[in-house]
Structure 1
């Protein structure tokens, strides 16, 4: 509910709303989503490939490009699906999330990190973190939410609603089960339901 209220605020820009909703629905790391380009989006399938933390290159060589890494798919739902088309406004290439100003003359960026149509640069992690803090801080700068909390909240809510550890691993793309175990919090109802499987064979008679 706190996330929904934040995204519904009128003083929050559409770019931030789309980013925060996408982080929550994909359970992805912030760096992964910020690195996505428009041409990589599958809007109909509600998915896109990301370069995950510790991604392995397909070939061994220095300075491999993003396309030369093994990419993994993340999935979103209706909230993100409603916001993305509005955010893109007909743009078909370049970073999904961009700044509102063009980079200064002394800043060197790769071609992939600049929108070829508008000249706007990719939104950085530091900028995204500062914007979230700006909208959620209650006791001064630095006291607001952290971007990672969207991933944490997403997985926690899925765990509370009965998602299995294997499903949480598939959603979060964690490699070790102990890393997702803290999100696995089945409800009392779920425990009661699974306990009923141990009842005697004639218990339903």
Structure 2
């Protein structure tokens, strides 16, 4: 989104959602310490990850981590968004947590005191930027992931590569994105021609 009225925070979020094909909750949950700027990637908790309880009620932070990758658009926007910050949530609200509100220390920037942008807030902002028929008619945050996978499928990405990018566990959940072009089917068929090398 190149529109001037869209804040840098939202531009970065939307670009990162699209380029990474990540789930919105994963991207909103990323902290600056999780980012690998040189590798254009970060690690996020796998979908459905939960803390595992030890005996006698002790909680252990034991998660499966998965890697998300982004590209040049996100790489250009992130430094401008962070403005030198080196810790805390990547995406922040413009307000501090209200008095009496209990917030996990991971969800507050230690330098500014601002809280992490929530899914509900991000969804409302996207609706505001994309609604054409009044409030509630705009896009859903999941549409960035859907669009990314659709475009990769149209570009000829294999089902296995789509699974690796999206981290889906079941191929059937990705078949709607996997649409080989007539040219790629013809190229595949040519491998069966007389004289074609076979193993």
TM superposition score normalised by structure 2: 0.93
Q: Which residue of 1 aligns with 2:121?
A: 127
Q: Which residue of 2 aligns with 1:14?
A: 8
Deviation at 1:106, TM superposition (A): 2.4
Deviation at 1:60, TM superposition (A): 4.5
Partners of 1:56 and 1:70 within 8 A in 2: no
Deviation at 1:64, TM superposition (A): 4.8
- In the superposition, relative to structure 1, how do residues 151 and 64 fare at CA in structure 2: closer, same or farther (>3 Å)? farther
Which one has a larger percent strand, Structure 1 or Structure 2?
2
Deviates more, 1:189-198 or 1:28-37: 189-198
Q: Which residue of 1 aligns with 2:185?
A: 191
Aligned length: 195
Partners of 2:46 and 2:63 within 8 A in 1: no
Q: Which residue of 2 aligns with 1:55?
A: 49
| RMSD over equivalenced CA pairs, Å | 1.7
Deviation at 1:196, TM superposition (A): 1.4
* Residue 88 in structure 1 maps to residue 82 in structure 2: yes
Q: Which residue of 1 aligns with 2:144?
A: 150
Q: Which residue of 2 aligns with 1:71?
A: 65
Question: Alignment partner of 1:8: what SS?
Answer: coil
User: What are the ranges of 5 or more consecutive residues in structure 2 without an aligned counterpart?
Assistant: none
Question: Alignment partner of 2:36: what SS?
Answer: coil
* Separation (CA, whole Å) in 1 of partners of 2:182 and 2:58: 50
Partners of 2:126 and 2:141 within 8 A in 1: yes
User: What are the ranges of 5 or more consecutive residues in structure 1 without an aligned counterpart?
Assistant: 1-6
* Separation (CA, whole Å) in 2 of partners of 1:56 and 1:73: 17
1:115-168 deviation digits (Å, cap 9, x = unpaired):
000000000000000000000000000100000000011001101111111111
Partners of 2:45 and 2:65 within 8 A in 1: yes
- Runs of 4 or more off by more than 4 Å in structure 1? 62-65
